Amino acid sequence: MSGNDLSHAAPRRVLLIVGGGIAAYKSLELVRLLRKADVAVTPVLTKAAERFVTSLSLSALAESEVRTELFSLADEAKMGHIELSRSADLVVVAPATADLMAKAANGLADDLASTVLLATDKPVFMAPAMNVRMWLHPATQRNLATLAVDGVRIVGPDEGSMACGEFGPGRMAEPPVIAQAIFEALKPAPRPLAGRHVLITAGPTAEPIDPVRVITNRSSGKQGYAIAGALAGLGARVTLVSGPTSLPPPPGVARVDVETALQMKAACDAALPADVAVCVAAVADWRPDHAFKLKLKKGPGAPPSVALVENPDILAGLSAKGPQRPRLVVGFAAETNDLEANARSKLERKGCDWIVANDVSGEGIMGGDQNEVLLVTREGTERWARAAKTGIAARLAERIAAALA
């Protein structure tokens, strides 16, 4: 498939947010190009954008209702902003004003457009358009960097004459350029892992002390779930063995819920054979040798002692040579010091093929939405810059697909 040929793809939908700026008139041509390629378009028009283009013009070209109000009684009775943010395959902001970029970068949601951007779980494209001084302002550049880390793709801006009479970067990219970027994004994703089975562990384990107390850790499961989703997106059949977490399973992923390390090991053994095992879960190294049947009560004297016994090593077990050893075994190492040395030591001890190590002493890593990792293999070491956990997941999924090719 090349160019804008989407004829063999499933029907595709774009949510187009039109920001307030003179470049808003270009959104009409963008809609025309998308509809010509049979891409469905749902427009969202900001209050400022209504000064430059009309709902009637957009609606006629898009053949769809134009949304403008966050507090629409008809829409919001059904949580319309959530439905809007999730129903499209792609969210496009064109023009993306400095104000809209700032709101998106800082998580503000005071109108329909910014609320949709905060609520969406779909890829976001932005085509910036603003005065050259606004574009070059440090605040805009900081927001641009934040959006890039969050996975927002920026199209443009171009350099040239502006309506304000100045010359420089800040002109919105031309509609054919934006449309081509959209067509490329809407092409069916390559599925290099089709027919492969991937086993992933994620989240914490919880080892019971008594009916109400457990030994656990701060793992949120976000990185493991992101990796499961990325691998499923490349066509793999994914079995996700998950410790306790509130995260929903990624689309197309079969989740097996467990609590303890023993349960996780049993679920992993049952899931074999697998082509790849990715052990992201923060498994407790020890568990109480027995769980008290009744809740322990605080009383006079010394607190009760809890004897610990070692849990099975799931990563080492999957890495052991044998007929069911996955072709590629990837472990994770959460460290607070000597990152590379500890990761390489773990690689040797466990017998796995790769270790993905991260320093969890940094603020916002454990339980947060971003990560910064070191990929340690027997061939060498790669440092991956801090990025959204979804971005780390996509990069690791691509490396796994390449290793199996």
Q: What positions carry a catalytic annotation?
A: 164
* Residue 18: strand, helix, or coil: strand
E strand residue ranges, 338-380: 354-359, 370-377
Residue among 76, 24, 13, 63 nearest 47 (CA): 24
* Residue 243: burial class (beta carbons within 10 Å; 0-12, 13-18, 19+): buried
Which DSSP letter does residue 228 get? H
Amino acid symbol at 323? P
* Residue 335: strand, helix, or coil: strand
Q: Which residues of 175-208 are buried (b: 16+ CB within 10 A; e: fewer)?
A: beebbbbbbebbeeeeebbeebbbbbbbbbbbbb
Please tell me the distance from the alpha carbon of residue 109 to that of residue 120, in angstroms, as a whole number.
12
Q: For residue 201, which phi and psi values (nearest 5 degrees)?
A: -110, 145
Q: For residue 104, which phi and psi values (nearest 5 degrees)?
A: -65, -40
Please tell me the distance from the alpha carbon of residue 317 to that of residue 330, in angstroms, as a whole number.
12
Alpha helices in 49-108, H assignment, sequence order: 55-62, 73-76, 80-87, 98-106
Decide if 26 contacts 94 (C-beta within 8 A): yes
Instruction: Please report, for residues 4, 170, 352, the alpha-carbon distance to residue 122 in angstroms, rounded to integers and kept in the order given.
Output: 20, 26, 34
Cβ neighbours, 10 Å, residue 281: 27
Measured over all CA atoms, what is the biggest interatomic distance in the chain, rounded to whole angstroms? 82
Please tell me the distance from the alpha carbon of residue 379 to that of residue 205, in angstroms, as a whole number.
32
Please tell me the distance from the alpha carbon of residue 162 to that of residue 168, in angstroms, as a whole number.
8
